[in-house]
Structure 1
Amino acid sequence: MKSQLFTYLNRYVSFESEEIDLIFNSLSQKTFHKKEFLLAQYQVCKHRFFILEGLVRYYKTDSDGNENISLFGIENWWITNLDSFINEVPSHNAIQAVENTTVLYISKSDLELLYEKVPKLERAFRIITEKTLIAIQRKDEIYMKQNSKERYYSLVDTIPNFAQRVPQYMIASYLDITPEYLSEIRKNR
């Protein structure tokens, strides 16, 4: 676990092993079972989560009961509801384990203390946040230019075993298409 975190963080900023020890010792670990919530809709998000193993979805349920998935998180990704985490307001979205998922997590207050002890970490999180925002913008730009079939192929080509890990109705929600149409696309591939 520590080596996984070390490898991940060193992609963005070079950390000494003592710094990684400080960071790792400030994190807690938890395993969420399939369908268990890391964050429930309308709850204040108290943590940032680093996914060691597993898969989560980030979604909201509208007033008609429809689930709208806007993001999936896989191994070696940080996930949180940033607005809720930073501003301590209820989240409009939920984070739920799609499969058994083990995470490292940290609270806002512990993260702020850690920034003081390991200033490089704040820089790393800034870079991670920038890259996340860029990925969201690119996804939006690409999806506006692609039809449903192209969006599906793009998704499965980018993350090869993703379609086997996620139920079809969730992929359809993420791609903003019906499960029936997704089934038709998959048959014709």
Structure 2
Amino acid sequence: MGEEHLILKNISRHISLTNQEKSYFLSLLKEKKVAKKELILQQQQSCKEINFVQTGILRAFHMDTTGKESTIMFAISDWWITDMYCFINQKPAMLNIEALEDSSVLQLQKDHLDNLYHKVPKFERFFRIMMQNAYIREQLRTIENLSLPAEERYYNFLQKYPEAVKRIRQKQIASYLGITPEFLSLIKSKQKNISS
């Protein structure tokens, strides 16, 4: 596991682990290489893993019956991603998770997570904080989508994913912002004119 230190660094922001606890935690992880455009989760599949992104970018999106995609989130290096509702409740996935470029993730299965809570209870604190932060982020995003004009939402997107924005297709950014790719083009050219 070449990048295992990254996940330990991520965890150490909220809890301290002994060497024995680190070893046990790492033993539960499975590394998965994901090719560009490959899906690691598909709607209606059972959602068994939570994924930590080591390298690359992943996108979680929902596809409706007409084939329209709504991007829910992007996950870059040092982020976690899953279909949280379905992972926790062991329901069929509502989301697809796709690699936008060749990526590498560390996967933790639900039953391993339950064992981890039992053997190293401080992990409950870590995942509680992580889920709280995710909930807050989604609540703020919902309020943004309801109250801010598209230009401001795009500006906030640039702040949130500064190094990833050039690696994500315009169509996918537009679907995250809830606008058309054409409207996003107008916003970008308007910003270019202002800054030049």
Tell me whether the two structures share a fold, i.e. TM-score over 0.5: yes
The structural deviation recorded for 1:90 is 0.9
Structure 2, unmatched stretches of 5+, are 192-196
Q: CA deviation at 1:2?
A: 2.4
Q: Once the 2 structures are TM-superposed, how far is the Cα of residue 5 of structure 1 from its aligned partner?
A: 1.2
Please list the CA deviations of residues 137-179 of structure 1 after superposition, one character each: whole Å capped at 9, or x if unmatched. 1111223221011111111123212220100000000001010
Aligned length: 189
Match of 1:51 in 2: 53
- Aligned-partner SS, 2:101: coil
* 1:20 aligned partner, one-letter code: K
**Which residue of 1 is the match for residue 121 of structure 2?**
119
Instruction: Say which is worse superposed, 159-168 or 170-179, in terms of deviation.
Output: 159-168
**Alignment check: 8 A CA contact 1:12 1:128 kept:** no
Please give the secondary structure, in 1, of the residue aligned with 2:97.
strand
Aligned twin of 1:19: 21
Matched letter for residue 59 of structure 1: F
1:160 aligned partner: 162
- Work out which of the residue numbers 138, 141, 149 in structure 1 matches 2:140: 138
Separation of aligned partners in 2, 1:24 and 1:114: 11
String of CA shifts for 1:9-64, please: whole Å, max 9, x gaps: 01111222321111111101011011111101111101111111111111111111
For 1:34-49, list aligned pairs within 5 A: 34-49=36-51
Specify the alignment match of 1:106 in structure 2: 108
Using the alignment, how far apart are the partners of 1:19 and 1:52 within structure 2?
20
Whether the aligned pair in 2 keeps the contact of 1:53 and 1:102 (CA below 8 Å) is: yes
Alpha-carbon distance, 1:81 to partner: 1.0
**How far is the alpha carbon of 1:75 from its aligned partner?**
1.1
Higher mean C-alpha deviation, range 167-176 or range 115-124: 115-124
Provide TM-score, normalisation by structure 2. Answer: 0.92
Distance in structure 2 (CA, Å) of the matches to 1:51 and 1:163:
17
CA contact (8 A) 2:76 2:164 kept: no
8 Å CA contact retained: 2:47, 2:92 = yes
Per-residue displacement from partner, 1:57-102 (whole Å, max 9, x unpaired)? 1111111111111111111111111222122221111111111110
- Structural mapping, 1:57-72, within 5 Å: 57-72=59-74
TM-score, normalised to structure 1's length? 0.95
Q: Secondary structure at the match of 2:62?
A: strand
Q: What's the offset of the Cα at 1:123? A: 1.3
> SS of the residue aligned with 1:188?
helix
Query: Aligned-pair RMSD on alpha carbons?
Result: 1.2
Contact 1:98 1:166 (C-alpha < 8 Å) held by counterparts: yes
Identity of aligned residues (%): 36
